Amino acid sequence: MYKRLPWRNLDAVQRVLHRAESLCAPYASKGGLRAAGKGWTMFETLSRSWEYAKMSYGLAWRNKQLLIFPIISGIAAILVTASFFVPLHRMGALTAWAEAADQSQGGQVPISAWITLFCYYVASYFVIVFFNSALVSCAMRAMQGQPVRIKDGLAMAAKRWHAILCWAIVSAVVGVILRLLESHKKIGRLVAALLGTAWTAMTFFVVPIIVIDNRGPFRAIGDSVKTLKSTWGTALVGNFSLGFISFLIFLPVLLLAGLLIWVAINTGAMFVTVMSIAGAIALIVFVASLGAAADMVFKALLFSYATGKELPEQVQAEEFSYAFRPAEKR
């Protein structure tokens, strides 16, 4: 299933986890390294999470059309940022707000700055969630064995535009509240970090729920929390594994991109410089898009299994049965 991707290094990591598990097994106790539920150890959970991450990368790799959505989303986010900050910079608003914050007692930011930040958040979240929704829609089509077409994903996201806009507004409100908390020097940053982490966990499945179940933002949050509460396991651990795999893939690409730029600087030839920089940027964009696509595929796969929906033939349901296990009653 994964022969096309270089998983040898990841398999080596998996063997290390198994080895660590065998070494620590004599010292594992019911309240120590043993996980709740059916007695799986922490190392077994970590090891199995690699499999879920590899499934997500495998599905994204076989359906490379999915990589288009993170690229478009990134371009759209840059355009949104430019549309806000370029005019504000030319009008001098950014400088005025910064000076007002420095001169005001307690470093308070003008209300106009918070309103602008809110509008910026709404626009940014809308374009990001829109293309993520299109990606999830195409991922679901791939799971069902249907052809993956970009226009179909965009069409589905367009049908959900009202729910996506409402979710962008809710996310913007939360984002502004967190920034307000961060503005307090003492305990604000810690509280904002804790609340931000809780918010991320609560909304883990919101995008798949909006796309698949056509829910509004508040209903989607409730369903997301319900899914995590009723069935639990290695969802968050698997998300960490995705990040670590992305790092393992991105590191050699970054080194290669640095080598290309170094060659460009030392040659001095215009053509070589342009091609080297273009190649470095293309490599970084490709790997970043692959990681972003795999992340959304991972959420779609777990949500599909957790809610009893269809899984792709290549994915064994037995493997996912360990990703979500019923919570142990106390």
User: Looking at residues 196-218, what average pLDDT do you find?
Assistant: 89
Which pLDDT score is estimated for 99? 74
Question: For the CA atoms of 126, 128, 131, 133, what is the dihedral angle to 10 degrees?
Answer: -70
Question: Pick the residue with more confidence: 228 or 29?
Answer: 228
SS3 label, residue 316: coil
Q: Dump pLDDT digits (tens) for 52-109.
A: 677 788 888 888 889 999 999 999 999 999 999 999 888 888 888 777 666 654 456 7
User: Looking at residues 279-292, what average pLDDT do you find?
Assistant: 83
Which pLDDT score is estimated for 290? 85
User: Looking at residues 318-329, what average pLDDT do you find?
Assistant: 48
pTM of the entire predicted model = 0.73
Q: Which residues fall within 8 angstroms of residue 31, CB to CB, at 6 or more apart?
A: none
Q: Which residues fall within 8 angstroms of residue 320, CB to CB, at 6 or more apart?
A: 52, 301, 302, 305, 311
Among 205, 226, 221, 212, smallest CA distance to 296 is for 205
**Lowest mean pLDDT, pick from 15-24, 30-39, 207-216, 271-280:** 30-39
Which pLDDT score is estimated for 282? 82
Query: What value does the mean pLDDT of the chain take?
Result: 75
pLDDT over 70 (residue 313): no
Which pLDDT score is estimated for 101? 65
Percentage above 70 pLDDT, the chain: 68
Question: Pick the residue with more confidence: 250 or 193?
Answer: 193
The secondary structure of residue 145, as a DSSP letter, is T
Among 20, 111, 3, smallest CA distance to 58 is for 3
Among 130, 128, 125, 122, smallest CA distance to 157 is for 130
Cα–Cα dist 204/226, whole Å: 11
Tokens of 316: 């064994």
Q: Dump pLDDT digits (tens) for 119-154.
A: 999 999 999 999 999 999 998 888 777 888 999 999
Which pLDDT score is estimated for 32? 37
Burial of 85 (0-12, 13-18, 19+ CB in 10 A): middle
Q: Dump pLDDT digits (tens) for 25-37.
A: 443 334 333 333 3
Q: Dump pLDDT digits (tens) for 149-194.
A: 999 999 999 999 999 999 999 999 999 999 888 877 667 778 888 8
Q: Which of 37-41, 46-50, 97-101, 251-255 has the highest mean pLDDT?
A: 251-255
pLDDT over 70 (residue 323): no
User: Which residue's entry shows tokens 């003492």?
Assistant: 186
Confidence of residue 239 (pLDDT cuts 50, 70, 90): low
Tokens of 304: 């599909």
